[in-house]
Amino acid sequence: MPFKKLSAKELDEFRSHLVRAQELLAGDLTQLHEEALGGNSGQDSSEPRATDTSDSYYQEFNLELLERDETTLREVMDAIERVDAGSFGQCEGCAEAIAKDRLKAMPHARYCIKCQREFERGNL
């Protein structure tokens, strides 16, 4: 299906969803950053603690979430730029239209389903 620009109303709706996602992710990132790098709540770090192993696990887990959310936030911000530039909804692989159902499920999508599969295989 050739690329057909979305209506102004549809673009406004997608932009609103993206801005809301950006705000939520930014808040999550702040909280995850504090949890992952925040320290030991004033406890003496020279004393061995029974929970050191689980603390390390949760810190590593939070760092992985932080990295994932930072990536998603960048994708959301890029999608907002595509809305503003007039290219939102156009696949970056084949230049065809991305299905509206896909955009509703993942408004920061860069690729149509077919091209996303190729991207994941390393072919794009």
Task: Dump pLDDT digits (tens) for 4-26.
Answer: 788 999 999 999 999 999 988 88
Alpha-carbon torsion (28, 29, 34, 35), positive or negative: positive
Q: What is the Cα–Cα distance from 19 to 8, expressed in whole angstroms?
A: 16
Encode pLDDT of 24-59 as tens digits. 888 777 776 776 666 544 444 455 555 566 777 877
Q: What is the Cα–Cα distance from 37 to 29, expressed in whole angstroms?
A: 12
Which residues make Cβ contacts (< 8 Å) with residue 17, sequence separation at least 6? Answer: 107
Percent of the chain clearing pLDDT 70 (strictly above): 81
Tell me the average pLDDT of the chain. Answer: 83
Domains, the chain, ordered by start: 8-38+53-120 (1.20.120.910)
- Residue with tokens 């690729």, as numbered in its chain: 111
Tell whether the model's pLDDT for residue 83 goes beyond 70: yes
Mean pLDDT within 73-91 = 95
Answer whether 16's CB lies under 8 Å from 83's CB: no
User: What's the pTM?
Assistant: 0.72
Instruction: Give the model's pLDDT for residue 51.
Output: 54
Whole-number Cα distances in Å, 67 to 33, 74, 98, 111, 114:
10, 11, 27, 22, 26
Whole-number Cα distances in Å, 76 to 2, 60, 69:
24, 24, 10
Instruction: Give the model's pLDDT for residue 104.
Output: 94
- Using DSSP's 3-state secondary structure scheme, residue 97 falls into strand
